[in-house]
């Protein structure tokens, strides 16, 4: 007799490694990475918030990106850390759907914010005279709200479609969190609609922002090269290079996870790619922005000097 979805109370999460002797090492490594990510992104937010020079659209979106990176990592890593420590590798049915919703929302927001930042750089470098009009605070707030609304609709669509499926047995999810594809494999219902929506919505969320970024830089690079002064080229390149680094790391790992041909895809490769964009990328972003961006370096120095003065 087939049980419907309400009778399945939990799933098993395989995790990154099934080897018992590696569990404590993995716990230490991922806890450190999680703490570094939280600290680094929080410092970025504090530095931008406390420095009037950085109250611009570019850094407004960067602060939001840092918040989303903390959310993306928290939505996946915290449960994995708890499971390793308690040696109880399960997640409730409701918890799985909740984790899926937040992972999808924060992951999609990452993609949208990177596209918004690319558009901001395009306007600043290619249309400098229109910048204050085009990227005025009301427009930035509207762009931010649109990103949150769209990603919530997409995440809710996937989550509700998953909630209507039946799961016949308490299966093992071949992942360290509740990603859509591994959970779909456990269902004994017809998953064609879910798979079609993963292809349509997932493809749109990946490809459209990526094409916006590519189009922006197709215009930005020639505009930078046309700048006559060495200082002008350096400043323009400085603001774009850190963004480009983050884009390359994020989309490189994302495409390898979701657009990999079936012939070379495997569960191990999927888990490694997912770990890269849900754990490594959010951890690297603060370092990329603080090391490659003079404005951020200055803001962080001022933040630390202010804190040391207050403490003394």
Classify residue 55: in a domain, yes or no: yes
In terms of Cβ atoms closer than 10 Å to its own Cβ (0-12, 13-18, 19+), residue 251 is buried
For 125-176, the pLDDT digits (tens) are 888 888 989 999 999 999 999 999 999 999 999 999 999 888 877 778 888 8
pLDDT of residue 187 exceeding 60, the answer is yes
Q: Calculate ∠ Cα 134-138-143, nearest 5°.
A: 80
Tokens 């990103």 correspond to 147
| Domain harbouring 158, CATH code | 1.20.1070.10
* Cβ(182)–Cβ(14) below 8 Å: no
pLDDT of residue 101: 96
Number of domains in the chain: 1
Residue 129 three-state SS: helix
Six token digits for residue 92? 């409730």
Classify residue 288: in a domain, yes or no: yes
Beta-carbon neighbour count of residue 194 at 10 Å? 21
Nearest to 255 by CA among 194, 195, 183, 207: 207
d(CA 148, CA 141): 11
pLDDT of residue 311: 58
For the chain, the average pLDDT equals 84
Containing domain of residue 244, as a range?
A: 8-309
* Cβ(69)–Cβ(36) below 8 Å: no
Six token digits for residue 243? 């963004």
d(CA 260, CA 171): 25
Backbone torsions φ then ψ of 12, nearest 5 degrees = -100, 135
Classify residue 3: in a domain, yes or no: no
Classify residue 2: in a domain, yes or no: no
Name residue 10's beta-bridge partners: 92
Alpha helices in 135-202 (DSSP H): 137-163, 180-184, 192-197
Nearest to 124 by CA among 35, 236, 39: 236
Classify residue 146: in a domain, yes or no: yes
Residue 261, CA distances (Å) to 130, 194, 265, 269 in order: 43, 20, 6, 12
For 271-302, the pLDDT digits (tens) are 877 888 888 889 988 888 776 677 777 777 88
pLDDT of residue 1: 34
How remote is the C-alpha of 283 from its chain's centroid? 11
Tokens 């850390």 correspond to 81
Classify residue 1: in a domain, yes or no: no
């Amino acid at each position: 007799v087939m049980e419907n979805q309400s009778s399945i109370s939990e799933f098993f999460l395989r995790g990154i490694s099934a080897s018992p002797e590696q569990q404590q090492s993995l716990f230490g490594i991922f806890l450190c990475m999680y703490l570094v990510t939280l600290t680094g992104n929080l410092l970025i937010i504090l530095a931008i918030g406390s420095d009037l020079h950085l109250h611009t659209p570019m850094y407004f979106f960067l602060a939001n990106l840092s918040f989303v990176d903390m959310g993306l990592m928290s939505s996946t890593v915290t449960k994995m850390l708890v499971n390793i420590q308690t040696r109880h590798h399960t997640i409730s049915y409701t918890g799985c759907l909740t984790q899926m919703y937040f992972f999808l929302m924060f992951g999609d927001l990452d993609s949208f914010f990177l596209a918004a930042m690319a558009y901001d750089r395009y306007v600043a470098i290619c249309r400098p005279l229109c910048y204050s009009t085009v990227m005025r605070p009301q427009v930035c707030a509207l762009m931010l709200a649109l990103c949150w609304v769209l990603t919530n609709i997409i995440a809710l669509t996937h989550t509700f479609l998953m909630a209507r499926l039946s799961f016949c047995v308490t299966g093992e999810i071949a992942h360290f969190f509740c990603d859509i594809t591994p959970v779909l494999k456990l269902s004994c219902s017809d998953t064609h609609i879910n798979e079609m929506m993963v292809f349509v919505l997932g493809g749109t969320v990946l490809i459209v922002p990526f094409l916006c970024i590519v189009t922006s830089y197709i215009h930005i690079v020639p505009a930078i090269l046309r700048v006559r002064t060495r200082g002008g080229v350096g400043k323009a390149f400085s603001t774009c290079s850190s963004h480009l680094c983050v884009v390359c790391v994020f989309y490189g790992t994302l495409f390898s996870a979701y657009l990999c041909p079936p012939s070379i895809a495997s569960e191990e490769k999927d888990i490694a790619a997912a770990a890269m964009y849900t754990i490594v990328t959010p951890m690297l972003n603060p370092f990329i922005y603080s090391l490659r961006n003079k404005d951020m370096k200055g803001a962080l120095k001022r933040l630390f000097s202010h804190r040391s003065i207050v403490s003394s």
